[in-house]
Amino acid sequence: MMVVSHDTAAGKRPTAGGASGAGAVPQALARVMSYIDPRLERALQLSGDAAPRLLEAMRYALLAPGKRLRPALVLWAAEACVSPGAAGSSPTQAWDTAAGAAVAVEMIHAYSLVHDDLPAMDDDDLRRGRPTCHRAFDEATAILCGDALQALAFETLVGSLPAAVAARGLRVLAQASGPEALVGGQSDDLSAERGWLDRSGAPEGREEQVAWMERIHRRKTGALFRAALTLGGLAAGANDRQLAALDGYGRAFGLAFQIADDLLDAEGNEATTGKRVGKDAERGKLTYPTVLGLSESRRRAVALAAEAESMLSELPASADDLRHLASWIVTRDH
């Protein structure tokens, strides 16, 4: 059977060891994956008007092995915002309400990876341990695959929520994907790497460099994390105070994630991370470890994770998954 319900997946949760804290995260992410992957698959069951080669590439990109971190943020945020005891607001229902948003966010993420990997961009051959989309198919198909996933993301989101929430959520996701966020961050990042910056050029001084990196990452990766959390909250009917708490979590979490990612690139190995490591250093790119050193980078990541966790007390329901995720993200090895 294709559809795995939240309850079924939860029922299969391994109990041995009683993992708690950050140790519980891999299992929690596995539950998200078994919930969301059939829904990603179903979102690609399109009419005969969809081009066959394009659809194959979209499936390849969207269902690639991955952590499903962004869908997890959507679903866990929704779950953390249901008012306990309110009618029609069990955790399972919270997931179901937010499922379309979770699919949409993963589509945006998958499209951005496909385009980032292109020869004209980062020129990567390997992604999540497999050939990148333009290697597995061809460059034109990879470009179109990204374009199609972006359009389908917005269509999926707007079709999954009541109109008023859909319109608000759409703006959130579009802004997070657009020239002021995801694409803008990527453009500035490339411009810095290629010496195209016509203004200040590469910044000098440690704190200036940190500020520069934060400005890139806040847009390039942070904005989509925050959008995921906001969308989960909106789907679950969160109020403004709760949305602000989720956003505060997202800000700190996003930065912690990025520092941890830089640390993995500096320290990790290719077999564990599934992508080529050390490429940042090869390119002479600014990263937290090169600017701050390894131990100061680690210290900041851990402090940010704690900051993220501290935001969660505002939320009405259990936010344990989000809490554990913040600790885990700075200790993971892939």
- Considering the complex, what minimum distance in angstroms separates the CB of residue 41 from a second copy? 15
240 scored as a contact of a second copy (CB under 8 A): no
What residue type is 252 in one-letter code?
Answer: A
CA gap 199, 216 in Å, rounded: 15
171 scored as a contact of a second copy (CB under 8 A): yes
Secondary structure (DSSP) of 229-272: HHHHHHHTT--HHHHHHHHHHHHHHHHHHHHHHHHHHHH--HHH
Phi, psi of 309 (to 5 degrees): -60, -35
Q: Of 11, 27, 7, which is closest to residue 19 (Cα–Cα)? A: 27
- Considering the complex, what minimum distance in angstroms separates the CB of residue 155 from a second copy? 4
Distances in Å between the Cα of 142 and the Cα atoms of 37, 54, 278 are 21, 8, 25
Q: Which is nearer to a second copy, 186 or 327 (CB)?
A: 186
* Count of residues touching a second copy (by CB under 8 A): 59
- Considering the complex, what minimum distance in angstroms separates the CB of residue 126 from a second copy? 19
- Considering the complex, what minimum distance in angstroms separates the CB of residue 195 from a second copy? 12
3-state secondary structure of 127: strand
What residue type is 319 in one-letter code?
Answer: A
Q: Which is nearer to a second copy, 145 or 326 (CB)?
A: 145
CA gap 42, 202 in Å, rounded: 45
159 scored as a contact of a second copy (CB under 8 A): yes
CA gap 114, 109 in Å, rounded: 9
Q: Which member of 66, 100, 146, 233 binds a second copy (CB under 8 A)?
A: 146
Q: Of 182, 173, 23, which is closest to residue 104 (Cα–Cα)? A: 173
Q: Which is nearer to a second copy, 16 or 163 (CB)?
A: 163
Binders of a second copy in range 94-133 (CB under 8 A): 111-112, 115, 118, 120-121
Q: Which stretch binds a second copy (CB under 8 A): 76-84, 92-100, 172-180, 322-330?
A: 172-180
- Considering the complex, what minimum distance in angstroms separates the CB of residue 114 from a second copy? 10
Binding stretches for a second copy (CB under 8 A)? 46-47, 49-55, 58, 111-112, 115, 118, 120-121, 138-141, 143-144, 146-148, 150-152, 154-155, 158-159, 163-164, 166-168, 170-171, 174-175, 177-188, 190-191, 196, 198-199, 219
